[in-house]
Amino acid sequence: MEKEIRTEEPRLMKGNEALAEAAIRANIDAYFGYPITPQSEVIEYLMFEVPNRKDKKTVVLQAESEVASINMVYGAAGAGARVMTSSSSPGISLMQEGISYIASAQLPCLVVNVVRGGPGLGTIQPSQSDYFQATKGGGHGDYHLIVLAPSSVQELADFVFDAFKLAEKYRNPAMILADGALGQMMEKVVLPKDNSLPKVSKPWATTGKTKDRERNIITSLFIQPEVMEKVNLELQEKYAAMQSEVRWEELNTDDAEVLLVAFGLSARICQKVMDLGRAKGIKIGLLRPITLYPFPYKRIAELAEKVDFILDVEMNAGQMVEDVRLAVEGRAPVYFKGRMGGMISTPDDILNEVEAISEKLNVLHQ
Amino acid sequence: MEEKLILEDGIEVEQVYRRPETLTDVPYHYCPGCSHSVVHNVLMEVVADLGIQEQTIGVAPVGCSVFAYHYMNVDMQEAAHGRASAVATGIKRVMPDKLVFSYQGDGDLAAIGTAETIHTANRGENILVVFINNGIYGMTGGQMAPTSLPGMVTSTSPYGRDVSMVGYPLKITELVAQLPATYYVTRQSAHNPNAVRKLKKAITKSFEYQQQKKGTCFIEVVSNCPSGWKMTPVETIKYLEEVMFPYYPLGDLKVPKN
Ligand SMILES: Cc1ncc(C[n+]2csc(CCOP(=O)(O)OP(=O)(O)O)c2C)c(N)n1
């Protein structure tokens, strides 16, 4: 690849490649993965690029399956490495047992899901239908990932750094939940600065038992129910502490009468809806959750007091809308607009929906 | 090891054996007569003898030996069922100068984890895989394993393993030996003192090869399971010799070419 890669000038990059380059710059120790569309460029980029970086010792290994990948991640994370994997929906489903083990053993790592439409083998077109899987645990047991939802190639790169920061702070797996369009599209990106993510000390890692300490054990097995409950309580305490990391973006919410709530690519589309609506005199605002776990319940509840209604827009059958309703608790009517299977609502579709709801509710926005 | 000891009543004795520092002071939970405890002992004796405790990281499987880390006084990780060699790969790849072993049962290694086993060996991961083949699922209560012998009665083959329905016992060690990246592949047992001595040699060699970065070393230990086989420990030894060893012949399957 070009020499300019090390400059901090804006570059035009594909989402998956920006993500991979950010991972190199975050000094990951290892990446384990298995090819799947629409995110194979991540491992392809790493395989091509890492050997050219003489200052990097990154391990990049193509595993025999996503099951193997995630368990390699477990081993490397348990050994104290900064480690990640990436995949798309079917592959992420295969990883769920491993992710549950990682959450229970409290190992920091990054899992990237460049979502495609399902269920089943589905389609390679973009989707947001893995929201439940990402935010509610995904595998067995009571656990949560830290989930970041980028809405641009820039964020896809930046969130690699943010995800590792949070994962290492809380000893918790983090997920970047993107979608096939973000992974595949090219945009301007200013890459995060190389070597700018400090390593943290991991005294619990299995690096070999030295004389001055007890042996370190990485496990998710707590066979006595009293102990297992205690571990669960600790995890729940950690998830409560993680709530302070909640992040969202607001646009035009000050005077908004209609609030759109959308994440990732849908939020990009909703920006356009907002502009089109405002040109027509409809005061539309947008709230974009950036962390999907933790979720900005409080802020959505506050805004619900001020608006006529909320329209939640997703590329699925309506998943985040359940969290929006939990936040709103009846303070305002909540509607949903979504398409499935890799189809994407156009700005006009969504604006028509806003107008139709306004009419139905008899609220005049002109 | 030899040193003088004064017992409480003043008698001076010579200590010829003691628990190595690589074993914790925790009594084994294994059934009386089970090979697991013997193999744990031998493995940890080798780690002590070679002075590699500080460099060694073990991976425990899901199976009866899921709690191996209670007894082995080295850094350890407990893997998901079947994934021990993938976990070991992850550890080894980020710490290539450390010594890594996985310790796995036959259900773990040769059924649910077959893909990981074959591909770890095919990549020639520079680790030691210790494979305890007791022909049964001990931990879950004696169900049929991929290695259960034809006609063998288990709780999921109550009329005996019917090979016309479920196939023949899998000789995965023979498969592993075929792979060009494996360096040393052997089949041992731990059912009598002579066998234990041979096993200890095989484990010692494997760690030495690993230090020399030679590739995957794979040791099958044909083992017993008194509870699962519903036999006394003495009867299991007879069954091993008369039934298991003819199907799983002991000895080296692949030795380094000089
Ligand atoms: C994904 C998954 N499937 C099934 C089990 C249940 N399980 C636990 S141990 C075991 C079999 C263990 O047999 P083996 O590997 O031969 O070891 P042994 O107990 O005989 O030493 C099974 C099926 C599990 N823990 N996880």
Question: Strand, coil or helix: what is A85?
Answer: strand
* Residue-number span of the structural domain to which B92 is assigned: 21-254
H helix runs in chain A, sequence order: 15-25, 41-49, 66-78, 89-94, 96-105, 131-135, 153-170, 180-184, 225-242, 264-279, 297-304, 320-328, 347-361
Residue B16 within a domain: no
User: B227 in ligand 1 pocket by Cβ < 6 Å?
Assistant: no
Question: Strand, coil or helix: what is B143?
Answer: strand
Per the structure, the count of domains in chain B is: 1
Q: What percent of chain A has pLDDT over 90?
A: 96
Q: A128 CA distance to ligand 1 centroid (A)?
A: 35
Cβ(A285)–Cβ(A274) under 8 Å?
Answer: yes
From the options 3.40.50.450, 2.30.30.30, 3.40.50.920, 1.20.1740.10, give the CATH code of A249-365. Answer: 3.40.50.920
Taking the CA of residue A31 and the nearest CA in chain B, the distance in Å comes to 10
Cis ω for the linkage preceding A119 (within 30 of 0): yes
Burial of B244 (0-12, 13-18, 19+ CB in 10 A): buried
Residue B9 within a domain: no
How far does Cα B48 stand from its chain's mean position? Answer: 17
Residue B3 within a domain: no
pLDDT tens by residue, B214-256 = 999 999 999 999 999 999 999 999 999 999 999 999 999 999 9
Residue B2 within a domain: no
Q: Given this model, what pLDDT does residue B8 score?
A: 79
User: Using the beta-carbon criterion (under 8 Å), do A75 and B88 form an inter-chain contact?
Assistant: yes
Burial of A92 (0-12, 13-18, 19+ CB in 10 A): buried
Contacting residues for B221 by C-beta, under 8 A, at least 6 apart? B35, B39, B130, B131, B132, B133, B187, B188, B189, B190, B199
Contacting residues for A70 by C-beta, under 8 A, at least 6 apart? A32, A85, A94, A95, A98, A99, A102, A111
Q: What does the DSSP 8-state code read for residue A296?
A: -
Q: What CATH number corresponds to the domain at position B54? A: 3.40.50.970
Strands B136-137 and B143-144 turn out to be antiparallel
User: Using the beta-carbon criterion (under 8 Å), do A65 and B115 form an inter-chain contact?
Assistant: yes
Q: For residue A81, which residues of chain B lie inside 8 Å, CB to CB?
A: 90, 94
Strands B128-133 and B216-222 turn out to be parallel
User: Using the beta-carbon criterion (under 8 Å), do B77 and A75 form an inter-chain contact?
Assistant: yes
For A140-156, b/e burial (b = at least 16 CB within 10 A) is eeebbbbbbbbbbbbbb
Q: Tokens for B88, please give them.
A: 């070991």
- Cα distances (Å, whole numbers) of residue A185 to A5, A17, A123, B52, B91: 18, 10, 17, 50, 35
- Cα distances (Å, whole numbers) of residue A238 to A100, A104, A200, A244: 16, 12, 18, 11
Q: Given this model, what pLDDT does residue B17 score?
A: 84
Collect all residues from B whose CB is shorter than 8 A from any CB in A. 53-57, 59-60, 66-67, 69, 73-80, 83, 86-95, 98, 115-116, 119
Lookup result for tokens 């002590």: B48
Cβ(A336)–Cβ(A354) under 8 Å?
Answer: no
Is B169 a residue whose pLDDT tops 50? yes
User: Using the beta-carbon criterion (under 8 Å), do A207 and B75 form an inter-chain contact?
Assistant: yes
Question: Strand, coil or helix: what is A321?
Answer: helix
Instruction: Give the residue, by CA position, lying nearest to ligand 1 atom 21.
Output: B64
Instruction: Give the residue, by CA position, lying nearest to ligand 1 atom 2.
Output: B81
What's at A354, amino acid-wise? V
Count of CB atoms situated within 10 Å of the CB of A87: 26
Distance CA B89, CA B108 (A): 16
Q: Please, which residues 188-207 of chain A have a Cβ atom closer than 8 Å to chain B? A: 206-207
The dotted CATH code for A11-204+216-244 is 3.40.50.970
Q: Given this model, what pLDDT does residue A28 score?
A: 98
pLDDT tens by residue, A273-307 = 999 999 999 999 999 999 999 999 999 999 999 99
Contacting residues for A83 by C-beta, under 8 A, at least 6 apart? A28, A29, A30, A31, A32, A73, A76, A77, A109, A110, B90, B94
ipTM of the complex model: 0.95
Q: Given this model, what pLDDT does residue B45 score?
A: 98
Q: Given this model, what pLDDT does residue A7 score?
A: 57
pLDDT tens by residue, A142-188 = 999 999 999 999 999 999 999 999 999 999 999 999 999 999 999 99
Q: Given this model, what pLDDT does residue A136 score?
A: 98
Is A342 a residue whose pLDDT tops 60? yes
Is A135 a residue whose pLDDT tops 90? yes
Residue B51 within a domain: yes
Q: Given this model, what pLDDT does residue A288 score?
A: 98
Q: Given this model, what pLDDT does residue B15 score?
A: 83
What's at A327, amino acid-wise? A
User: Angle at the Cα of A4 (from A3 to A6), degrees rounded to 5?
Assistant: 95
Backbone angles phi, psi at A353, to 5 degrees: -60, -45
- Cα distances (Å, whole numbers) of residue A133 to A116, A291, B129, B242: 13, 15, 34, 52
Is A325 a residue whose pLDDT tops 70? yes
In this prediction, residues A326-345 reach a mean pLDDT of: 97
Q: Given this model, what pLDDT does residue B117 score?
A: 98
Distance CA B68, CA B30 (A): 10
Q: Do domains A11-204+216-244 and A249-365 have the same CATH topology?
A: yes
Is A364 a residue whose pLDDT tops 90? no
- The answer for B64, left when phi > 0, alpha when psi is -120 to 50, beta otherwise, is alpha
Confidence of residue B7 (pLDDT cuts 50, 70, 90): confident
Q: Given this model, what pLDDT does residue A2 score?
A: 46
Cβ(A146)–Cβ(A112) under 8 Å?
Answer: no
Q: For residue B74, which residues of chain A lie inside 8 Å, CB to CB?
A: 208-209, 215
Cβ(B143)–Cβ(B137) under 8 Å?
Answer: yes
Q: Given this model, what pLDDT does residue A4 score?
A: 46
Residue B243 within a domain: yes
pLDDT tens by residue, B136-162 = 999 999 999 999 999 999 999 999 999
0.90 exceeded by the pTM?
yes
User: B64 in ligand 1 pocket by Cβ < 6 Å?
Assistant: yes
Q: Tokens for B113, please give them.
A: 């984890």
- Number of the ligand 1 atom closest to the C-alpha atom of B106: 16
Distance CA B117, CA B147 (A): 15
Q: Given this model, what pLDDT does residue A304 score?
A: 98
Is A3 a residue whose pLDDT tops 60? no
Question: Strand, coil or helix: what is B187?
Answer: strand
Q: What is the CA radius of gyration of chain A?
A: 21
pLDDT tens by residue, A79-93 = 999 999 999 999 999
Q: Given this model, what pLDDT does residue A10 score?
A: 94
Q: Given this model, what pLDDT does residue B14 score?
A: 87
Q: What is the largest CA-CA distance in chain A?
A: 76
pLDDT tens by residue, B91-146 = 999 999 999 999 999 999 999 999 999 999 999 999 999 999 999 999 999 999 99
Distance CA B100, CA A34 (A): 24
Q: Tokens for B135, please give them.
A: 């022909």
pLDDT tens by residue, A219-240 = 999 999 999 999 999 999 999 9
Domain ranges of chain A: 11-204+216-244, 249-365
Q: How many CA atoms lie within 13 A of A21 on its CB side?
A: 27
